[in-house]
Amino acid sequence: MFRTCINIGLRQHAGIVQRSVSSLSKLVDLDVRHPHSRDRKTKVICTVGPATWDASGISSLLDAGMNVMRLNFSHGSYEDKAKAIATLRAELDRNARSDVDFDDGSCEDLCAIAADTKGPEIRTGAVADGAKAVELVGGSTVEITTDPQFATSCTASRLFLDYPDFANEVSEGQTVFVDDGLIELTVTGLHPGEGAVDAKVVNGGMLGSGKGINLPGASLSLPAVSERDAADLAFAVEQDMDIVFGSFIRSAADIADIRTALGPAGAHIMVMAKIENWEGVLNFDEILAASDGIMVARGDLGIEVPASKVFLAQKSMLAKCVLAGKPAIVATQMLESMVKNPRPTRAEVSDVGNAVVDGADAVMLSGETAVGAYPQAAVQIMGKVCQEAEAVIDHGELGASIRGRHAAYEDVLVSVGDHHKDATRDAIASAATDAAARIQSPVIVVLSASGGTARDVARFRPEVPIVAVTDDARVARQLNVSKGVFPVVVAPAPLDAMRASGVAFGKSLGLPSATTPTRRSASM
């Protein structure tokens, strides 16, 4: 493993240091007539599915700026996923893009692959007689059973759920949301000996097969890693995937269970926690300490947490991720209307922009790219919105705020189990970003074996791109979820040679650069 160095590319001429303006002053000075900033720092994650997992579809997503390909393990077969992975790798090799395109935010010869687990979720059974849906009428009564003999025969009067302990762990008055909250039931009677409960339909609707269940406020004994999850994680290891998005994470112990399931062969895989329920929100600090990053998964979260609180939860979690220096993703319904329409709603555009301003490292597309009619357009539009939103951020003020707060929050993380903090490395990263701002450097070049120092620099949110040079392709791919980091893979070489490669690469991008008069290094 080689030492990690930070190099700051210098302008050819002396610059005048500008004092940071206040956020309000920056907003007042915004001009919609001006073009967006050249580089997109926020990463875009695309879910692939029937609409995009062939060669043409994946190539179009790469061309549009996809940084991470997500595979949803709640749907599809292993065969489909293996084909998608092979297709992505073949497309990257075939096109040999081998460049960083700051304009669309892509490192086009690098694309991480993420497995999104099914997690400890509860679903309904199949509708009886092969029907597409059954209508649950408001005001009616329905029996909810866990008896497997009804797994394929759900009707308007009897629903099957795939969680055997359901009747033992709910109480009368418990709200039961079905199909992302579109249908609401209330438990009115308990029959634990029969594995069933009675419920009243509060809000009815058409119910299809295999729909998700949410139980706001309930504490369930569902395992963090089911038998199916264990098989899915083994597949992720077999396919040499880069990231796991763990669904419905409730505590740090859930993260530990996923790492155990991945085993030594999967120890290199990043584990990012999806926060989707009350327990996850309440235990957020310990989850953040135990994980490699966070996904704010607002679909289920918006059902289990009052809608008016999701806004606050998102802002709080993103801020903590920034202070901790761990990547954060915002997901669910970001450009949902583009599943069917060629243009997003104005509210969706604002949602994406606000996530960027809140501090998201990445934003994610789900159905828009998996089954949507306009997948490439969705990626392009999301990328453009991210670029425009980044112009709103006052990087000087933000960096100063982070420097003033991150040490205190790291103490919180250490207290709940994060023992990987390094004050020396933090000081180097902070000094590098501060120096880059003072000398008006057009780029920061980071040499890193593990990616840790690149993430440390990214934490302080420099205004200029961070070019992360590494000899490990996996590390480079995993950096594709860190804001402002553009990873580059080089052949293993002595430190000075790698440093020279990084500077040469910066020059090749058309960025004015010169030999660095001062450099700081630390062993990693």
Catalytic residues: 70, 123, 274, 332
Q: How far apart are CA 21 and CA 465, in angstroms?
A: 21
Say if residue 484 is exposed, middle or buried (CB neighbours under 10 Å; 0-12, 13-18, 19+).
buried
Beta strands in 299-442 (DSSP E): 328-331, 362-365
Please state whether 139 falls in left (phi above 0), alpha (psi between -120 and 50) or beta: left
Q: How far apart are CA 483 and CA 461, in angstroms?
A: 8
What is the three-class DSSP state of 140?
A: coil
Q: Which of 396, 426, 399, 398 is nearest to 410 (CA)?
A: 426
Q: How far apart are CA 98 and CA 92, in angstroms?
A: 9
Per the CB < 8 A criterion, the answer to whether 429 and 459 are in contact is: yes
**346 CB contacts (<8 Å, ≥6 apart)?**
none
Q: How far apart are CA 504 and CA 53, in angstroms?
A: 36
Q: How far apart are CA 367 and CA 349, in angstroms?
A: 16
Q: How far apart are CA 141 and CA 123, in angstroms?
A: 19
Strand partners, 43: 362
